Amino acid sequence: MVAQKMKLIPRREAMCLLTSAMASSLFPLESLAGPDKVASRIADITNGKQFSDIDIYLDMPEIAENGNQVKIVFEIESPMSEVEHVKTVYVLADGNPEPDVAKFNFTPAMGACGATTRMRLSKTQNVIVLAEMANGLFAKADTKVKVTIGGCGG
């Protein structure tokens, strides 16, 4: 009985091992998107087009305690007419396994441009919102979110 007990790993240690093993298997460092991948993704999307100085209102928490559910709110001033409206909004993150988070396609029927959703953040990272206007111009906003407990693990 005693011999058996000796073989057991203390619970606390086991938990530590388990957590670190999970963390490393979930997010091997080389698989994260990283700023370079995001920069090349942005270059892909914009395809060399110009950036305009349109303001994007981006609201995210400065510190997210839980990376599994992080609220993101964005709004862009736009008349949303046939000629002048926001066509597409990309949400990108540079510390997640892949840079793309979501892509929103807006239409003039919406009357305003903005959306709210919740996203996963695997670690402290930058979140970038990239908007494409109907006239081909782009606008960009980014914010840094500090994450205490990473998400993406599900």
Per-residue binding string, another protein, 66-105, x by CB under 8 A, is: --xxx---------x------------x--xxx-xxxxxx
Cβ closest to another protein, residue 34 vs residue 97:
97
Which span (9-17, 39-47, 52-60, 117-125) binds another protein, by CB under 8 A? 117-125
Per-residue binding string, another protein, 44-63, x by CB under 8 A, is: --------------------
d(CA 124, CA 12): 26
- For residue 130, give Cα distances in angstroms to 15, 35, 46, 121: 40, 15, 9, 18
Residues in region 28-47 near another protein by CB under 8 A: none
The CB-of-2 to another protein minimum distance in angstroms stands at 29
Report the residue from 24, 81, 116, 148 that binds another protein according to the rule CB under 8 A: 116
The CB-of-37 to another protein minimum distance in angstroms stands at 13
Report the residue from 2, 4, 25, 30 that binds another protein according to the rule CB under 8 A: 25
**Contact positions toward another protein, by CB under 8 A?**
22, 25-27, 68-70, 80, 93, 96-98, 100-107, 109-120, 151-154
